[in-house]
Structures are given as structure tokens and as C-alpha cells.
Structure 1
Amino acid sequence: MSDFTSNFWSVYVTAITLGGIIACLLLLWIASRKKVVATTDNTTGHVWDGDLTEMNNPLPLWWVGLFIITVVFGLCYLAFYPGLGNFAGKLGWSTSGEYDKEIAKANKELEPLYARFTSMKVEEVAKDPQATAIGERLFMNNCAQCHGSDARGSKGFPNLTDADWLHGGTPEKITETLTAGRMGNMPPMAAAVGTADDVKNVANYVLSLSGSPHDSLRASLGKAKFGACAACHGADGKGNPALGSANLTDDIWLHGWGEAAIINIINNGKTNQMPAQAEKLTAAQIHVLASYVWGLSNNQAPAKAAQ
């Protein structure tokens, strides 16, 4: 219920829930007060289709008792557990709280396993077969959704198996990225570049930096206008890891290749977010995961464990 910005749905759910329980009790009370005068043959006197006779058989007391117990149980449940809109219940139980307890318990049990790796350097952990197996599972559970099961990424999601790193590929930088996340922002630059024709010229100049197919005449005209981009990408277009700006000379295109794709980014900008993992993973888990990711681009193939 906390996902809703209005209190309407909380009140709505509460009203429907309590209204249903009250309606059940009211129905039971009305039924208990209605007395039917039975005839000597224990019928109510109502006959349908000539031979269908309604018998005077009230609800068994055991059934009525169970019905009342069920209603009381429902009210007690709603008092102690969440079920009435925003009301969390007297016990404060929640699925997220239960999940956090289970994760904390699992992390406690795994501490001895990770303790061996925390004292090792990333380069050493990346070569350890057991650490690599653990790192692979951590990657599949937390990173593969964006970077792919093979870590080669896709459009908008970096390839982690090459040597191209926007913020640097050292163990320290990878650990920093996993822990705190990253927010990449390329602002719209069309106004700073100039006219639509200028934007097209700059796009061709950018393509020329990596030796990609381009219009050489437009590229020569766009070089002067590239100054608006040089503040982040550098005068040589090689980028700046401190800013997370891309290297435009390596022919690696995170958000698509070609004149149209570059023009689109110059005109509209681009924002990318790498979510922080510190709230999901322990420091020891991030250390193992960072070692695994570092190993992907540094060809660290661990020796197979002895059979």
C-alpha cells in the first residue's frame, strides 16, 4: 500500500475487508432471528413444481460455531498482521521484513566461507575456482539481467568482457561501481553545437575518430564544432574516466552505431543508471563479485579443481 500516493486505496481495502466480515455477521444474526413455523411433518409449507417441499432444517449448531470462530479468527488476524490498507498490524510483520531476516541468517552462515576471500587480493580471488563459481552465481542473480548471462551486454548495457571501461576497470573502480552504483548523463548538446546541419557534421566527425564509415567532407566541417563536446570527451575524443565520458576513438558504441544514432544522442542526450548493490550484497560478496567481473576482462581462467 505504500506504493500509492493517495490514501484512497488504503481506505477502500479496509472498508471492503471489514464490510465483508460485518456483512457475514449481520447475515448470521438475521438468519438466527427468523423463525419458521413448521408443520407437523417438519416442512415450511412452501412447495414448488407440485412436489418439491422445503424442509425446516436450520443450520447445525456446530456449523454456526465454526462460522463464528472463523470470523473471530479473521478479526484477530487483521489486528496482528497487515491486511487493512496501511495498517501494519500489532506484530509489525511484513514479507520484506521476513525476507531481510532470511537474508541476514544466510549471510551469517556464509561468513566463514567468504572470510577466506576477503583477505585475498582481487587478482588472487579471480584465479580461485571456488571464488569464481560463487562470483558467477552472484553475477547471474544480480547482474545478468542487464549485462547478459555471458556478460557481453547489449545496447545500453556495457560489455564486461572487453577492456573498455567508462569509469575505469581497476579492481578498486569496479568495487566502487558495484557498491555505490553509477549515474551516467550525456546532456542534449544540439543547442551548443549549432544547426541541424552542424549536428550532422559533428556526428560524422565523431565517426571519423574511430575510423568508422563517414562523410569526410562533413567530418572536416564538424571538427570545429566538436569543441562543444571536448569538455567531456577531450579534444582527442578519448574520453575521461573521471567523468565517465566515453572514448569515441575505439569503435565501441554503447548506445548504437551510425550517423542516425549519434545524431539522436546529440539532440536528446542519454541517461544511464547502474544500481548500487551495497544494500543487496555484503562487502565480502561485492569483493568476490568484483573479482569475478575483473577477471572477465583480464582473462583470468581459474585452474580446474582436482577431481
Structure 2
Amino acid sequence: MNCPFLREAQVKFCQASPFRKVLVRSAAHGTGEKCTSPGYLGCSVYLETGRQGPTQNRCPFFGESLTQYCSIAPVPKYIPYSESTLCRCGTESYRYCELYLTMARPAGGDGPALPLDVRSHTGPPAEEWIDDMRIPNWLLYTTNHLWVDRTESGNCHVGIDAVLAKALGKVDSLNFAVSGEHPSVILEAGGVEFEVTFPRILQIRRVNAHLRLDPNPATADPYGTGWLFEGSLSGNESAGLIPGNAAAGWMRSEVERLSHHVHEHILPADPESAGLAADGGSFAPGLLRIVGRERASALFNEFFGPYASWKKR
């Protein structure tokens, strides 16, 4: 499956030049140029090679290649077909490209001001909402609040879900790590570091390195540009993940359990922190940033930490 913004172009270039300048080949440039006529004999680059031989109709250093490029990139990068497997444009991974997501989402409309289903740029996804938290039902979920988007080819993307995103609020810094065979990300919020570990064995292909410079999408756009890892899961490793059609009910119980934790363990010890629980009993955005290091660590380890998922299995 290719990105709808992927295009082809025949390009030409000089194989003798120390600087590779790629030009898109067109009918308008097909005549009157040195490279494709005996005029190449007067080219300074050709003369510097010291090559001698019978005159030809085109320069022996004239090169051509069929390439692919992104039609919406500010500066097109032409990638030879022989190297196309190195980019995401020709695979299902294009759905998590920042350029694709920017163009595929509508600028306005009556829908929620949150990402559309990255599988489609033609209409809204199937999803549910718990308060202000969006739960896409085409994803799989882990019990420590990570989502998994697994394609038919076995490739998958992983990120944090809306419950963890709301609890964190704004992320101040983000770094990637590996705990054994389990990829992890260390999120700093409010001066406290939280390690989120994927509880299955994942063969990593790439991480979302952009988040090191700007970690905000990890919580502001968790199902889109805030993805964390790309890799592959074996068939057995996907067992035990929560399917999307059961996720809303499970997350509703998690929100209730988390809110109960706030009311039972945090508010009694600090009555002035009544704002940590919103009207109706739900927890406040950025909860982990404002409860203090000790309480934040205890709450995180209970619901989102490295062992939160394994102890529930």
C-alpha cells in the first residue's frame, strides 16, 4: 500500500560531478543541452576527468534513474527505486508520516478537533469517547495504557493512549530506552521521570526521533504524530492485547479506578488538592504533574508503570 502523495519522476544527473544535482527529466529539457549532445566535449566537468575516446551522441557520464518522491514535501527528495524500501512511502507506515497526517486531516468541519483515523483520509473513524478521552476502536491496547496499530503484514506502531496522555498532561522531555527485549520511553513531566514499557517483545525498526526535540505530540496527538515505536510483533506476542471493540468498557473501568485512587489515597492526605478530581469524579488533566513526586510515582506504577501490565496478566 503506497502513500497517496507518492509520485514518480525520471531524473537525470552527472555521474562525474563531485556534487550530485538531480534534475527532473521533461520534454522541454530534452533538446539543446550539452549532456545529451556532442556538446558535452566542452563541459568543464568532462574535461577534468581526462577521458578520451570517440565522440558520442551523449556524455558517457550522463545518468538517468526512475525515482519516487513526496509530492507534498516542501523540498522534494528523489529516491531511486532501488532504495525505495528504505522509506515508509511505499508501505503502510506512511499513515504515521507527519506530512501525510497534516494533509489528510480536514482543516475544519463539525467533527472533533482531534486526529482522524490514520487508516483513511476520506472520513471519520469508528471511535468512542470517555469524557474528553478518545478511544479509537481499530487499535489494540495493553493494560498499562499503550495502543498498538498492527497491519496485515505484521508491521505495527505503538503509542500511549488517551488515558495516560491526560494523566501526564504536558511532557517536558522524552528519551527512548530498552528494557531487555521490551522497548521503553522515559517521559519527564513536572520534574518526575516516568518509564513506560511495552509489555510484549517488539522487534524495533524505528522510533519517533522527532519527539526528542518536541515531545508535545506524545500527549497532544497520541494516536497520530505522537507515536513512539515502529516494529513487528510475532503472532503470539499479540495475544492478550485488548481488542478495540472491548477497549471502551475496559478504559471506562480504568478511569473509574484511577479516580477512586485519587479520592481514596490523595485527597484525604491533601484536602487542598480537591481540583485533582473534576466534577463528576473523573481525574483532572495533568494529574501526574501536580500531585508531588512520591504520590505521582505510586499512582504511575499502579496504572502505567513497567509492571502494571505484567501483574494484570
Would you say same fold, with TM above 0.5?
no
Using structure 1 for the length normalisation, give the TM-score: 0.22
- Which one has a larger percent helix, Structure 1 or Structure 2? 1
Using structure 2 for the length normalisation, give the TM-score: 0.21
**Structure with the larger RCO, 1 or 2 (CA within 8 Å, 6+ apart):** 1
Q: Radius of gyration: which is bigger?
A: 1
